[in-house]
Amino acid sequence: MQITDIKIRKVFEDGPMKAVASATFDGQLAVHDIKVISTKDRLFIVMPSRKNPDGTYKDIVHPINAEFRSILEEKVISAYFEECEAIKSASVSELDD
């Protein structure tokens, strides 16, 4: 299965959640609400989940193995950094006008 597209839907300045992304697989399946989370050590992704009646959360969709999770995480975080650069460039461009 190939990751054919990653879109950063929203970027957050404050708090540990830095972005919400969508990923498309083989140009045929989209997964929304993948979150980019920041800790003091690193960025990682959290898959879409729902809250259970007991207050715990359960992933709705998730990678089956660590290798694919690593690939997905790398691509989503890379897209997040690209989006941050685009936002920064747009801000600098607006200041120059």
The CATH number covering residue 16 comes to 3.30.1120.40
The pLDDT of residue 95 is above 70: no
CA-CA distance, 61 to 57, in Å (whole number)? Answer: 12
The pLDDT of residue 97 is above 90: no
Q: Please name the helix (run of DSSP H) or strand (run of DSSP E) that holds residue 1, with its range, or none.
A: none
Domain count, the chain: 1
What pLDDT, on a 0 to 100 scale, did the predictor assign at position 89?
A: 87
Please indicate whether residue 97 or residue 74 has the higher confidence score (pLDDT): 74
Domain that holds residue 45: 3-96
What pLDDT, on a 0 to 100 scale, did the predictor assign at position 90?
A: 84
What percent of the chain has pLDDT above 70? 95
Structure tokens at 72: 């997905």
The verdict on pTM exceeding 0.75 is yes
CA-CA distance, 70 to 59, in Å (whole number)? Answer: 17
The pLDDT of residue 13 is above 60: yes
